[in-house]
Amino acid sequence: MITVKQAKELITINTVKLVPVIRPIALAYNHILAANVFAICDIPAFKQSSMDGYAIKFTDRKEPLELVGEMAAGTSKNIEIKNGQASRIFTGAPLPTGTDTVVMQEKIAIQNGKLIINDENLKPGLNARNKGSEIETGDLAMQSGNYLTPAAVGFLAGIGITEVSVYPMPSVSIILTGKELLKPGKPLGFGQVYESNSYSLNAAIMQLGITNIEIFEADDDLAILTNVLKTALEKSDVVLLTGGVSVGDYDFVLEASRLCGIEKIFHKVKQKPGKPLFFGKLDKKLIFGLPGNPSSVLSCFYNYVLPALSSLAGKINPIKEIDAELTNDYKKPSGLTHFLKGNHHQGKVTPLGAQESFRLSSFAQANCLIILNEEEELFEKGDSVKLLLLPE
């Protein structure tokens, strides 16, 4: 067996970002830019009013001004303002030729048909956006590696960008193994259990913004599992198998992987839960053999699979590791790193009950995994421990 640290390092060095693709800007949210984006024009493309008011030449501010026409946002016609004149103007509209300043409408009065300005704080260029004040032609708009938030998508659309190069989200296949599994909604027969791993994994993967997910079922049969695994490898960048990863008479994941040409990187990690974890690759495709118990599946997913999925998409691992203070004593045997389901609040963490690997009830209430180091046995109240904060 290898250590948790070694397992994570091996996954990291064997994970390569996916080949960038071109995406319409409307579909680029939640992706990472794979190339710099440069402005294709000045924004704004003209001197523009930032509010409703009156466009004037600043040097005319002390004189009654003749009102000439108006400029609305979207107008295609310009007007020329001469000395002693002003124009009504609205937010987003181009400033008429001959003007340089906008007086807000609350700072004027109309007397005998003339515009009187009552703004002692008026300055040249006030309330007017210069051409290119947002960005100029050829300027760097966003760098490769930037995360495309809703605001970033809007910004790029607002400067005329229609498509960008991004790292795609990986496609994922989930293969469920086991004769005992039954879909929820049907009455349980003798020896059967409700299948939950596909539901938890599908939800956890979708939480990353990944939607290309396929779910397969495979009986405890080597030939069947091998064929299903071949199909999944053809369809997906990442394949997750649940169950069948140990060394029992009905555990065929290792042999099926060998038959599919998958290179084994490691099998078994010094951890609890999830000791039988398998990791391999085929070219650039990643294969994870997860233990079948529900808590083991999620514990391995958050520790190993989620960081790999993020890396494939060019993203930073969203799982944060922090320190917190234990609220009670905890004892474990040495030799394995333990991941406990816990509740973290204001710098303190409490291990929850129902820590067994087949139980999800405590995982459903947990907001973190407590990391108890391999060789240590006794952890006392007040000790500082490492946590993995689970995504919300």
Q: What is the pLDDT of residue 100?
A: 97
Mean pLDDT of 7-29: 97
Mean pLDDT of the region 40-63: 96
What pLDDT score does 223 carry?
Answer: 94
Asked if residue 187 has pLDDT above 60, the reply is yes
pLDDT of residue 278: 96
339: confidence class by pLDDT, cuts 50, 70, 90:
very high
Indicate the pTM of the whole model.
0.89
Task: Name 136's Cβ contacts closer than 8 Å, sequence gap at least 6.
Answer: 39, 42
Tokens 């939800």 locate to 203
What's the confidence (pLDDT) of residue 175? Answer: 96
Residue 55 has pLDDT above 90, yes or no: yes
- Average pLDDT value for the chain: 95
Residue of higher predicted confidence among 313 and 177: 313
Domains and CATH numbers, the chain: 4-19+169-312 (3.40.980.10), 21-42+136-167 (3.90.105.10), 48-129 (2.170.190.11), 320-387 (2.40.340.10)
Residue 198 has pLDDT above 80, yes or no: yes
Checking if the pLDDT of 149 tops 90, the result is yes
Decide if pLDDT at 152 tops 60. Answer: yes
Confidence band, pLDDT 50/70/90 cuts, at residue 247 = low
Mean of the pLDDT values across residues 117-128? Answer: 95
The predicted structure's pLDDT at residue 249: 57
Task: Look at residue 220 in the predicted model and tell me its pLDDT.
Answer: 83
Taking residues 286-303, report their average pLDDT: 95
Q: Which residue has the higher pLDDT, 378 or 243?
A: 378
- pLDDT value at 185 more than 80: yes
